[in-house]
Structure 1
Amino acid sequence: MCYYSDYVIETARAIYAHALTVFLTKKSIWLKAAQLEKSHGTRESQDALLRKAVTYRLQAEVLWLMGAKEKWLAGDVLAARAILQEAYAAIPNSEEIWIATFKLEFENHEPERARMLLAKARERGGTERVWMKSAIVERELGNLDEERKLLAEGLKGFPSFFKLWLMLVQLEEWLTHLEKAKEAYDSGLKHCSKSIPLWLSLANLEEKMNGLTKARAVLSMARKKNPQNPELWLAAVRAELRNGNKREADILMAKALQECSNSGILWAASIEMVPRPQRKTKSMDALKKCDHDPHVIAAMAKLLWLYRKVDKARTWLNRAVTLALDIGDFWALYYKFELQNGTDEDQKDVLKRCIAAEPKHGEKWKPISKAVENSHQPTEAILKKAVVALGKEESAAENNRQ
């Protein structure tokens, strides 16, 4: 079997090598050949291939970026920096190169280098991403006045970029300037009425400041402006559950599933809301509507786990992370499962795969990874914090059902 596998890899390598003699400037072939070396070759073979690739595709950002990232992952920051400098010389107006260079310096604790790069990018007419990254640097360094100044300037140029508004309201909330936060929400939603994160954040603030009634009003207005949005319906359901209104939550979930009948996140939530004896039936209904949705698959895995069907639960969890590599919550659930039910090897395998996937999204994952105190934490640390967050959520949900 090993010989066969080696033969297949060598055959693929030979096919790519021949293809590249015919299509020297075909970026997609260079990329696939590089990915083959990443998976089955050595760092040296991948590096050699990427160095060759950029001689033929000098303007291909993705090839330069891949080469720099691999050097960084190997711990060779100087080599990664050198590649990005070459890339900048080849493509001086590439914002992707600017951002990658900033990230390299920022993640390697060189804030002054990062600042200088972003200042130059802003002078060159940087886009909204440059302004956002600039504000993030100041937030991490604790320069809140400078952060506010950059956000204000950025919003003058990019008033419809909701992430800048979201950062501004988060800053005001953190400083407990709640009235200023509400003013920022009002301005932000005038420019970005389709931004679901802004609506959800405002609803959370209103619930904290003024209680459920105000939060309901915000979420109702949000749904009118953004019909058939599952996240807004789910937020409304959860607000009722947090306040002990199980009957109202059930009514809202029924309406939500009528309006968004193929929403995986709603079906997954509905499975967990019903009493245990009804969950099997509800899960069958969910699978009929969206059998390839990773949220439903993960909910099925949790149900099997609850019934101690360990092997089946593992299969469904593996399916969930395969369908949605980028959603960290599923990796956290899978890792939590293996910590309780798997061997050391099982746990190491999930951890290794999660690190390779580099998840960026997830309801629990994203706030943890974006928190200032976690900004330089590796994937493994974020994963373990997400496991703790899942445990707290499950305990709270169990209390709500009782």
Structure 2
Amino acid sequence: MWMKSAIVERELGTVEEERRLLKEGVKQFPSFFKLWLMLGQLEERSKHPEQAKNAYSSGLKHCPECIPLSLSLADLEEKVNGLNKARVVLTNARNKNPKAEELWLAAIRAELRHGNKKEAERLMSKDLQVSPQSGILLAADIEMAPPCPLPKTKIKDALKNCVDKARKWFERTVTLDRDIGDFWALYYKFELEHGSKEKQKEVMIKCVASEPKHGEKWQAISKAVENAYEPVEVILKRVAIALSREEHNKL
């Protein structure tokens, strides 16, 4: 009840009532991490970083193994107090959840954002020993690899072979885990760049049927206030655009 009521107030733009409901909610149900998460996000939107930090930290005291709260606190600490503070949060979280690939990925990306590629590579190597079959970590490891130039005469054949292999990889990935929206968005982005309109439509139809709910970028976009009632196909396109922009900014 508390969460749904707070969401309604958020959509109406009545911030004080949303805050009141969430504060009352965490008193009544302190072990329900989503209420702490929503309270912290509200304070971040309101430009109150210290109150947001208190919400995330208080939530972790009641839910010490909660990954979303740890990720939100680490992200806030990095923005407000720098990398070292974020490292502490992520390290503590990984000690409690040693196989949580989201925490490892967050640590790796934090190091990359600050130009610490060697530390990012060290973390990646260590985590792949723990989770060698992690799809999101393997994908990140590929992104981190330096480009391998090819002679011009081989580029065309290599591109064709790579496209075919990549398509098979994407098909296998979304078949194994239909709930990860980021995988569908990467697949759709790939088909926009290398496939036909028929292939793009095919991915779209399969994604809509799968109704994905999870994924780093997917959740960030689908849970944004302005996207609260958008259908799956709209979220898919917006996540694909976000991924393209992110890729462009790296160039």
Q: Could you tell me the TM-score, scaled by structure 1's length? A: 0.57
Corresponding residue for residue 191 of structure 2: 338
The gaps in structure 1 that reach 5 residues or longer are 1-129, 279-305
Measure, in 2, the Cα distance between the counterparts of 1:150 and 1:316. Answer: 45
Corresponding residue for residue 208 of structure 2: 355
Of residues 224-233 and 212-221 in structure 1, the stretch that sits farther from structure 2 once superposed is 224-233
Distance 1:334-1:258 versus aligned 2 partners, 3 A rule:
closer
Measure, in 2, the Cα distance between the counterparts of 1:148 and 1:270. Answer: 40
Measure, in 1, the Cα distance between the counterparts of 2:194 and 2:101. Answer: 33
User: Secondary structure of 1:248's partner?
Assistant: helix
Amino acid at match of 2:172: R
Distance 1:156-1:384 versus aligned 2 partners, 3 A rule:
same
Q: Does 1:203 align with 2:112?
A: no
Distance 1:143-1:214 versus aligned 2 partners, 3 A rule:
same
Cα shift readout 1:232-285 (whole Å, capped 9, x = no counterpart): 12211111100111111112222222343443322332222222349xxxxxxx
Distance 1:324-1:193 versus aligned 2 partners, 3 A rule:
same
User: Do 2:9 and 2:17's aligned partners in 1 also have CA atoms closer than 8 Å?
Assistant: yes
Measure, in 2, the Cα distance between the counterparts of 1:261 and 1:331. Answer: 22
Q: Does 1:368 align with 2:239?
A: no
Corresponding residue for residue 178 of structure 1: 49
Measure, in 2, the Cα distance between the counterparts of 1:343 and 1:216. Answer: 43
Amino acid at match of 1:363: E
Corresponding residue for residue 155 of structure 2: none
User: Secondary structure of 1:167's partner?
Assistant: helix
Distance 1:346-1:254 versus aligned 2 partners, 3 A rule:
closer
Q: Does 1:153 align with 2:153?
A: no
Measure, in 1, the Cα distance between the counterparts of 2:174 and 2:91. Answer: 33
Q: Does 1:317 align with 2:156?
A: no
Measure, in 1, the Cα distance between the counterparts of 2:128 and 2:95. Answer: 16
Percent identical: 65
Amino acid at match of 1:195: C
How far 1:311 sits from its partner (Å)?
Answer: 2.9
> Quick check: which has more Rg, 1 or 2?
1
Cα shift readout 1:13-44 (whole Å, capped 9, x = no counterpart): xxxxxxxxxxxxxxxxxxxxxxxxxxxxxxxx
User: Secondary structure of 1:275's partner?
Assistant: coil
Equivalent pairs counted in the alignment come to 242
Distance 1:383-1:323 versus aligned 2 partners, 3 A rule:
same
Distance 1:228-1:318 versus aligned 2 partners, 3 A rule:
closer
The gaps in structure 2 that reach 5 residues or longer are 150-157
Measure, in 2, the Cα distance between the counterparts of 1:381 and 1:189. Answer: 33
Q: Which has the higher contact order (CA 8 A, sep 6+)?
A: 2
Cα shift readout 1:78-130 (whole Å, capped 9, x = no counterpart): xxxxxxxxxxxxxxxxxxxxxxxxxxxxxxxxxxxxxxxxxxxxxxxxxxxx3
Measure, in 1, the Cα distance between the counterparts of 2:47 and 2:21. Answer: 20
Measure, in 1, the Cα distance between the counterparts of 2:3 and 2:226. Answer: 18
Distance 1:193-1:144 versus aligned 2 partners, 3 A rule:
same
Q: Could you tell me the TM-score, scaled by structure 2's length? A: 0.89
Corresponding residue for residue 106 of structure 2: 235
